[in-house]
Amino acid sequence: MKLVMQFGIIMGVSFIGEIIRVLLPFKCPASIYGLIVMFILLKTKIIKLENVKEASHFLVEIMPIMFVPICVELMVTGKALANVFVPVVAISVITTFVVMAVTGRVSQFIIRKDNKKKEGAAE
């Protein structure tokens, strides 16, 4: 019963993301709005992490299975994608490294900021 409640919370937040997508004029997927809403709810402790932890772990564990239909579709439409294969691979590789670099820099910035806060509080 606990997992059903956790999935219900996650689906409810996803539904709120769908409503926001309909109401706002931006071309942004509802899942992004749902993630933002879930982040806000978790940070403000309206929803506690324990209320969604087990269901979210389960969803992360089965995530690779969700890519199977996409891979099958790529195999079926592979000939149509052959013309754009090199640009897509180049863009994917470049953006992967850019995202890794930006994420690393932001993480370092946050860690340094946290360390300075801790040092200031210790004094």
- Beta-carbon contacts of residue 55 (< 8 Å; ≥ 6 apart): 3, 6, 7, 9, 10
Looking at the structure, tell me whether residues 47 and 88 fall in a common domain: no
> pLDDT at position 85, please?
84
pLDDT at 123: 66
In the chain, % of residues over pLDDT 70: 98
Residue 98 has pLDDT above 80, yes or no: yes
Write down which residue in 36, 67, 98 finishes a domain.
67
Expressed as residue numbers, the domain containing 60 is: 1-67
Instruction: Please indicate, yes or no, whether residues 49 and 4 belong to a single structural domain of this protein.
Output: yes
CA atoms in the 13 A half-sphere facing the CB of 62? 6
Number of domains, the chain? 2
97 in the same domain as 121: yes
What's the chain's average pLDDT? 91
Q: What is the dihedral of CA 95, 97, 101, 104, to 10 degrees?
A: 110
Closest by CA position to 33, among listed 12, 15, 17, 10:
17
Place of tokens 């946050």: 110
Q: What's the Rg (C-alpha) of the chain?
A: 20
Same domain, 2 and 50: yes
